[in-house]
Amino acid sequence: MNMDAKILTRKLANRQLQPCSPGSCLPPCAAGMASQNRDPAAASVAAARKGAEPSGGAARGPVGKRLQQELMTLMMSGDKGISAFPESDNLFKWVGTIHGAAGTVYEDLRYKLSLEFPSGYPYNAPTVKFLTPCYHPNVDTQGNICLDILKDKWSALYDVRTILLSIQSLLGEPNIDSPLNTHAAELWKNPTAFKKYLQETYSKQVSSQDP
């Protein structure tokens, strides 16, 4: 990542995230994502080295090289609470994990996300959705996320690390003026009640996903 991108990433992590424009936060439902590998880190490194992608040479082109570089940058960044790896041997579909930041109501909660990269990446934004149900003012029941950098504020300077850090920040600093979940937006005004409801729903979701 060049110096301009690094500066941009730091600024993004510190600024107040803005909602996407009205009506733009409801993308079509995407197909369900397959389960993650048992050893995602090993699979990710293998995918990066192989440059595997269903359409053949695309992964060996500039988009594939860009994603390989982003994978290595993310793995070496040392950022707490975020990670992402390609799904199986497909470099264009990743599964990410975000842990709620300390000091927020989401602290110690873990969420999985899907990231799908278009052939026009990085000039076109990836499609990012929560796989783990997330009770949050800016996340709907299908896992869609209302975040400006995933919509009209996307820039080719952003990368996977920027996306994950931005979503992690959004968890603790939602924009309740442009909610996708109106119930969560109203309850957010009462932090104690919100945290209690969040913990209860998260526990039920985790229990229902256990084998």
The domains of the chain are located at 34-209
Kindly indicate the confidence band of residue 49, based on its pLDDT and cuts at 50, 70 and 90: very low
Catalytic site includes residue 146: yes
In this predicted model, what pLDDT tens digit does every residue of 112-153 receive, in sequence order? Answer: 999 999 999 999 999 999 999 999 999 999 999 999 999 999
User: Which CATH architecture group holds 34-209?
Assistant: Roll (3.10)
In this predicted model, what pLDDT tens digit does every residue of 55-80 receive, in sequence order? Answer: 455 666 999 999 999 999 999 999 99
| Residues 172, 14 contacting (CB under 8 angstroms) | no
Res 55: pLDDT: 47
Q: Which residue has the higher pLDDT, 93 or 88?
A: 93
Q: Which residue has the higher pLDDT, 77 or 29?
A: 77
pTM of the model: 0.74
Q: Calculate the alpha carbon distances from 108 to 37, 62, 143, 202 in Å.
A: 23, 37, 20, 11
